[in-house]
Each structure stands twice: as C-alpha cells, then as structure tokens.
Structure 1
Amino acid sequence: MFMEKYKIIIDTFGSDKGPEAILEGAKLILNEFDNVDLIIVGDKDLINKYDFDFSRVEIIDSKGTITNYDNPIEAFYKEPDASIFKAFEAASKIKNIGLISAGNSGALMVCAIKYLLNDKRIRPCMAAVLPNMNKSFTCLVDTGASIDCGPNQLINFAHLGSDFMRYLYKIDSPKVGLLSNGAEPTKGNKVVKEAYKLLVEDKNINFIGNIEGNKALSGLCDVLVCDGFAGNQVLKNSEGMAVNLITEIVKYAKKNKQEEVIMPLVQYLMQTYDFESLGAGIMLGSKVPVMKCRGSSGPKAIRNAAHILLNIAMNKSLYDGEDKR
C-alpha cells in the first residue's frame, strides 16, 4: 500500500537542555513515524554523531543561535545564519508540513512575518490547545507572541482560533470568549472593552462574552482570546497549579498510606495535565504550521509536536488516536 511521505523541519537550537534534547526527539520521530522525513537545522558535526537513518534526514548546517536575551529584529540582521532563520527560510522554499523550534518566541514571529506570512497578510499569533473541564479542549490565543495588542488584533486572533478549531475539531461554530477581569461588558481595560464591542458586531464570530480567569479552562468556550502577556500567564499558571495540586495529593496519599487508592487518580491527572505531552504551542496564520516548544522541552515534547503536525497534515483532530482525556 502506498504511504504518503511527509517532511518536517527541526531547529535544534533554543532548548534549555541543549541541542541534544532536540536531537533525541528527532530520533523518536524517525523511530515512530515511518512516513516522516526530517530536515534538521543545526551543528552538522553534532548531528552526524547520531545514528539516524540519513536516507530520511537532510542537514542544514548552522552553529548560530538566538537567545531569549537577544533582540529578535537586531539578531535577524546580525546573525543571519542562526539556525532559526535558516529553518524558516527552508520552510518557505521546501515542501513540508511544518516546523518545530524551541527558540526565541520573538524571533519566531519575525521569521514568520518575513518568510511565512499568509496571503491575507494577517500577523500570525501563537496558540495553545489545553484540556478543559468539559473533557474537550480550549484554544488559547495569543500565548506570548504579541504582548501588546490593539482591539483589531484581538479580533484577528478570534478569527484564526475559530478557523483552527473548525478545521481540526470539526466544530461548526466555535464559541469564542474574551479574557477579562469580569463577565460584564463594562469590565476590562480599554483594549478589552473595545474588542468586546467589535466581537459583538462581527457576525462571523460566535462570541459568547467575557470569560474570567477562574473559568479560562472551564469549557465555556472553544476559543479564548487575549493578548500574549495575559495568555502566557494563563498557560503557565494553569501548569503551575496542576503541578502543585498533584504534588499535594501525592503527599497526602503517602502520609496517610493510601497510595493504592489515590495513585490511579494521580496517574490520570498527570496524563491529563502533562503539558509536555501536549507537545507545543502552534503558530496560527502562517503559511505552514510552526510548533513552538518551550525552552524546557525534552525529547517527548519534540516527538509530540511532530505528531500534531502529522494530524494537521492528515486533517485530524490534534490528539486523534492519542486522547489525553
């Protein structure tokens, strides 16, 4: 039977754990997905030390990296041979189903605008698909790529998030919420209040109103819109609270010698709220999908990011076949 082959581009720099963690993730991808070939961007000498099937691997040599302390725009001109820039350049020229990077978020946005801006010329944004209380998922957008946003930009986020959930999750009319400090239309800062009015007027968006932070992952909406600063806080606070809660449950179980009863619950919670198992954030609005892994990502996150790209390429739900709920 004919098996369609897909190509994924991997930027090996950017991880706090070094390029080795990314390359170990690349090994997992090649071992588990026979229909995937890789273009690996990074130190050629290091990459060649790995026992890859090099009939399925193309190397783009680069020893330059952009740190989180570098100004992305300045770096674009000072370090044009950095791996992240070479990876995006390749993505714009070579047929592929997506790019994976743990690099500087600002640099990713600069590259997306330079190389992968879509035909509508809309600024891309970063989204994360997170488990909610309805045993489904909420698309949180933006999660850090655009810290300061105007109201019209938030409307674009709503459209991109809605299209994403409609395309992948087959939700005919995704419910859109606007993150605010109160449910009433009068709550929020100036930008949020103006965005609220625009969302109400937009007939192509199924806007359900403001969503408070404590209900961000309640399942009330399929798409939660906010600026990148607020979205990043929701993302990291959710992860932090999940870790703290699971840790306290484990402590209680051990203290009261109830591991046998409680540990199945712990395992369920760890699987559901293991943010690394969800892979990465995804850039919406670019010509090809870009998966942004966190700096702390290990091999499993890289492998799961590739799995998401495969599901997108094959027009499936993000976690089809690997339900985390």
Structure 2
Amino acid sequence: MKKREIIIDLLGSDMGPEEMLEGARLVLEAFPQTGLVLAGPKALIEAAQLPEGRYRILEADKTVTNLDNPIEAFYRKEPVSVFMALEEAGRCDDVLGVISAGNTGALFAGAIRFLLADKTVRPCIAAILPTTQGGFTCLVDTGASIDCGPAQLVEFAHRGSDFMRSLYKIDAPRVGLLSNGAEPTKGNKLVKEAHALLAKEEGINFVGNIEGNKTLSGLCDVLVCEGFAGNQVLKNSEGMAVNLITEIVKYGKMHNVPAAKEIVGYLMSRFDFASLGAGIMLGTSKPVLKNRGSCRRDAVKNAAQILVNLAENKTVYESIH
C-alpha cells in the first residue's frame, strides 16, 4: 500500500496541544495504515509516547492567536505550526491533508500561499450541520470569504453540491440560499442578485431562500451564504445545542425526570458540534480541515476520517477543488 500521512497542527486549539495529541493517538489507533506528521513542540510530542515509527515531527513553538494579524505573522518567518503544516502538505505527495483547530485567517492565508496553484480561485470553508430530519446540510461559506459577490456564491453552490453528491451520494443536492425571508424578493443586494443567478444556473438544484430558523430543518442539502453570515449560523447553532442540552440536564436533575438522561444522550449524539469532524476548505490542491477551536480529541479523529474517505475516492476532491 502507498504510504500516506495526515498532518495535524497541534497549536492554536482552545483545548491546548495535549488534547490535540490525544486526538492524534485516536487517529493512529483508528487508521493503522496511516502515519502522522505532528506540527508542534518536539518535547511535548515525545512526552506523549505515541507509537514509535508512526509519526514524524515538524518542530514549531509558535502559533497565530486571535489577536495577531495572520498576514504579518506569515511574513515574520517564525516557526509557526500552521504555516509549517501547510507548507509540508504542499511539498509532500504522501500527505492526504491538514487538520488544524487554530486561527482561521492564518489557515486561509497559508493555504492560499502553499496549496493554491490558481490564485484567482477563492477557497471557501464548508461545514456539515446535522438536521432534525436525521441527515446533514453542507453550510458554505463559514468564514473564509467575509466579503464576496453573487458569482462567488454560485461557485460555492457548485462546490457544496459536488461535495454532497460525492461523499453523501445525493444525486441532485438541494441548494438553498440563506436569507431573511423565503420570498425571492427578500434579502440584501447580494442575496437578491445571487438568487437570480442560482435560479438559472445549470447543474444546481436550487430550492430558493432559506430563513435562519430553518437552517437545521433539512430543507436543503447545501446552504449557501457569505462567510460572515455562515460563521454566525455555525456558532449560533452550536450555542443553541449546548444551551438546550444544558437546560434539559438541569430540569432533569431538579424534577427527577428519568427520561432526561436518554433525551440528552440522543441530542448529544446528533448535535454535539465539538465532535462533528471539521469544516473542509474547498478550492485547495489538498484538503484542509478546520476543527472548531473548542474541539475535543474525537473531533480530530472524525476529521481524519474525512481525509481518509477523500483519499479512497480521489475523484471526489478533484471535482471540488
């Protein structure tokens, strides 16, 4: 079997590099034919006592915080883990992709520098949201392109459709456009112009506008928006799920409701965003997966599963980058 590796950026996570290292341990256990490249402090990595011969180290002790300017950080030429990880991915054919829970701006800037042959292409980040129908919706963009035009939203629709068609085997993914009303006349200038383009775009199964309170209802397979709105949808959905589960736990304890534990278990299995893999950057030569900053170790393993799935069906990623 051809050698294959996954690069994990250990720095930048809200949970600390130790949690990312435990995620790396889970990846090695789950995928015995896959090696790892770990970008982070050498002493910390060696202290974790991961299986020998299964990983190599990109020694780095710097990260890009939310207070840093990602572009300035890039040009400082310091050993920043996320930039070293992306550069290694662009250099090595054996690398399946990169997983990081660090600064989105830094990840985006590094991906453009090291993994984008065509600089006219604007990558986007897709996130998979669970729906109340038991399926999933691809939300795109979730933060890579804060300002964009209607033509870019159409491109996002194509990439999201290809992603859902290829990995989830949906023949004609339903594409919705995030708006403040279901009617075609609702929305700002960007949404109205994008609606007109999507309605006549070949290869897009456009089902119209989707309101914010319907994002998890399963009305579409791909939900398109610019990155500012998409990031808010993602974080609001995560916050709503956490708050709802917390309230059920509190009520169950206060009123001794036996069924509360079972309900919480079900909701955690469906809407635990901290464990739901990662957002995937579409438009780069290799997959770049962005875990949430608050992700836990199992989310790292789930992200690795996405990379392995893409590698096993190479045409999938070739169709969306």
The 5 Å alignment of 1:154-169 reads: 154-169=153-168
Deviation track 1:212-262 (CA, whole Å, cap 9, x = no partner) reads 001111111100001111111111111111122222222222222222x33
Deviates more, 1:173-182 or 1:302-311: 302-311
Deviation at 1:56, TM superposition (A): 1.2
Deviation at 1:8, TM superposition (A): 0.2
Deviation at 1:92, TM superposition (A): 0.5
Q: What is the one-letter code of the residue matched to 1:117?
A: L
Asked if residue 270 in structure 1 is aligned to residue 268 in structure 2, the reply is yes
Q: Which residue of 2 aligns with 1:35?
A: 33
Q: Which residue of 1 aligns with 2:319?
A: none
Asked if residue 25 in structure 1 is aligned to residue 23 in structure 2, the reply is yes
Change (3 A) 1:132 1:118: farther
Aligned residues: 314
**1:232 aligned counterpart, secondary structure:** helix
Q: Which residue of 2 aligns with 1:127?
A: 126
Q: What is the one-letter code of the residue matched to 1:32?
A: A
The 5 Å alignment of 1:48-63 reads: 48-63=46-61
Q: Which residue of 2 aligns with 1:294?
A: 292
Deviation track 1:102-131 (CA, whole Å, cap 9, x = no partner) reads 111011111111111256952111111111
CA–CA distance in structure 2, aligned partners of residues 278 and 96 of structure 1: 22
Identical-residue share of aligned pairs (%) = 62
CA–CA distance in structure 2, aligned partners of residues 224 and 173 of structure 1: 14
CA–CA distance in structure 2, aligned partners of residues 264 and 311 of structure 1: 31
Change (3 A) 1:66 1:265: same
Change (3 A) 1:97 1:121: farther
Q: Which residue of 1 aligns with 2:238?
A: 239
Question: 8 Å contact 1:253–1:262 — kept in the other structure?
Answer: yes
Question: 8 Å contact 1:10–1:99 — kept in the other structure?
Answer: yes
**1:97 aligned counterpart, secondary structure:** strand
Q: Which residue of 2 aligns with 1:195?
A: 194
Deviation track 1:269-314 (CA, whole Å, cap 9, x = no partner) reads 1111011221211111111111101222222221221122222222
Change (3 A) 1:274 1:77: same
Q: What is the one-letter code of the residue matched to 1:28?
A: L
Q: Which residue of 1 aligns with 2:283?
A: 285
Question: 8 Å contact 1:37–1:57 — kept in the other structure?
Answer: yes
Change (3 A) 1:298 1:79: farther
Question: 8 Å contact 2:153–2:224 — kept in the other structure?
Answer: yes
Deviates more, 1:16-25 or 1:263-272: 16-25
Deviation at 1:43, TM superposition (A): 1.4
Deviation at 1:31, TM superposition (A): 2.3
**2:292 aligned counterpart, secondary structure:** coil
Deviates more, 1:302-311 or 1:36-45: 302-311
Gap regions ≥5 residues in structure 2: 317-321
**2:229 aligned counterpart, secondary structure:** helix
Deviation at 1:25, TM superposition (A): 1.2
Asked if residue 253 in structure 1 is aligned to residue 240 in structure 2, the reply is no
Deviation at 1:45, TM superposition (A): 2.2
Question: 8 Å contact 1:8–1:306 — kept in the other structure?
Answer: yes
Gap regions ≥5 residues in structure 1: 319-325
Deviates more, 1:47-56 or 1:179-188: 47-56
**1:301 aligned counterpart, secondary structure:** helix
Q: What is the one-letter code of the residue matched to 1:301?
A: A
CA–CA distance in structure 2, aligned partners of residues 290 and 80 of structure 1: 21
Change (3 A) 1:182 1:137: same
Change (3 A) 1:25 1:284: same
Deviates more, 1:161-170 or 1:243-252: 243-252
Counterpart pick for 1:85 among 83, 86, 102 = 83
